[in-house]
Structure 1
Amino acid sequence: MTDTLTHLDHQGNAHMVDVSEKIITKRTATAQAIVAMKASTLTKIVEGGLPKGDVIATARIAGIQAAKKTPDLIPLCHPLMLSKVSVDISILNDHEIQILCTCALSGKTGVEMEALTGASVAALTLYDMAKAVDKGIVVKEVCLLEKQGGKSGDWSKAND
C-alpha cells in the first residue's frame, strides 16, 4: 500500500493512473450494501407484492449493468473487460437485505470500484422499486469487503 493518492499527479491535478507497465493478474473484489426498510416492505418484496414487479431480479440485473458501466460514472476509472459480475441478494432479518456484488477479471487494474458501483446501484434500484410503499428505506454500509490480486495483494475488511 502507498500513502500517496495515485489519482493525483505531482502538481496535485487529478489524472487517470497509467497502468501500461503493470502485469496482468487475476483480480477479484466483493462489495456490499445493506438496505433497511419496514418489515412489511420486506414481506411485500419477498412475496412479490409490489406494483413494479420482481424487485430482487431487477436489482440484480441493475447491479450487473452498473458494474459494467462504472467508467461511465466514476471519471478516473479504467474501462475494464470484466470476466465475472455476480450480484447476490439475501434477507438478513425481518427488515434488512444484504446485496453482495463480486467482480473479477484478468487485468492490470483492480475491480473494487466496479463491485462498489454494482452493490450501490442494486441497492438504489431496490429503493426505487419499493419507495411507493416505504419512503424511509435506508441504504447503508456500502463498503468493500475484500479484494484479491494486484500489486497491493489481498485485503479483507474482516482482517483490517
Structure 2
Amino acid sequence: MAYFTHINTMGEAHMVDVSAKPETQREAVAEAAVSMNPTTLKMIVEGKHHKGDVFATARIAGIQAAKRTWELIPLCHPLMLNKVEVTLRADEQNNRVVIQALCRLNGKTGVEMEALTAASVAALTIYDMCKAVQKDIVIGNVRLLAKRGGKSSDYTAVDHD
C-alpha cells in the first residue's frame, strides 16, 4: 500500500527521520524546457543578448539552487551534494532550450528534489534574462528523468534514453 512519507499518523506534515538509513550513492536527473521565438533563441545561441551569456548564468543559477533546495522546499533535508551538473542545449528545431540537471551524493536520502530545483531555477533564469526581449516565453516539461540508489527501486522515465 502506498503512503505519503511526509505525513505522520495524525495527518500532519513532518520531516522524515532518515537517521537509521544507511548511506548509499544516490543520483537523480531532471529536465525542463524553455520555449521561445526563434529570434530569441538565436540571440542566446549567438551570444548577442545584452545581459550577457544566458547559458552560463542559468547554469550557475541551477547549481546554486540545487545546493539550497532545503531552504526552498519545506521538509527537504540539507544535503552535502558531491556533484551538480546543469547542461543546456539549444533545440533550434523546436525553438526551445532543454535543460538537464544531474545531482549526486553519498547520503541517506535522495536527490530528486535537488535535480528538479536545479532544472527549474535554470529555466526561470533564462526567462528572467530574456523577458525584456520576449514576455511570452513558456517554461514546461519539468520532470524527473531518472533516479538511482536508496531503498526504493531505480527509476527511468519511459521516453528517456
Normalising by the residue count of structure 2, what TM-score does the alignment of the two structures yield? 0.96
Q: Which runs of 4 or more aligned residues in structure 1 lie more than 6 Å from their structure 2 counterparts after TM superposition?
A: none
Aligned to 1:135: 135
Distance between the aligned counterparts of 1:27 and 1:135, measured in 2? 38
**Which sections of structure 2, spanning at least 5 residues, go unmatched?**
none
Deviations 1:86-137 (A, max 9, x none): 0000012341110000000000000000000000000000000011111010
Matches within 5 A, 1:1-160: 3-94=2-93, 95-158=95-158
Distance between the aligned counterparts of 1:159 and 1:55, measured in 2? 28
Question: Which amino acid is 2:74 matched to?
Answer: P
Count of residues paired in the alignment: 159
What's the Cα RMSD here?
1.2
Distance between the aligned counterparts of 1:64 and 1:153, measured in 2? 26
Shift of 1:55: 0.3
Shift of 1:75: 1.0
Measured at CA, do residues 26 and 159 of structure 1 come closer, stay the same or move farther in structure 2, by a change above 3 Å? farther
The answer (yes or no) to whether the contact 2:41–2:92 under 8 Å persists in 1 is no
Distance between the aligned counterparts of 1:63 and 1:80, measured in 2? 16
Shift of 1:50: 1.4
Question: Which amino acid is 1:145 matched to?
Answer: L
Normalising by the residue count of structure 1, what TM-score does the alignment of the two structures yield? 0.96
Deviations 1:49-104 (A, max 9, x none): 11111100000000000000000000100000000000000012341110000000
Which has the larger displacement, 43-52 or 4-13? 43-52
Distance between the aligned counterparts of 1:22 and 1:10, measured in 2? 20
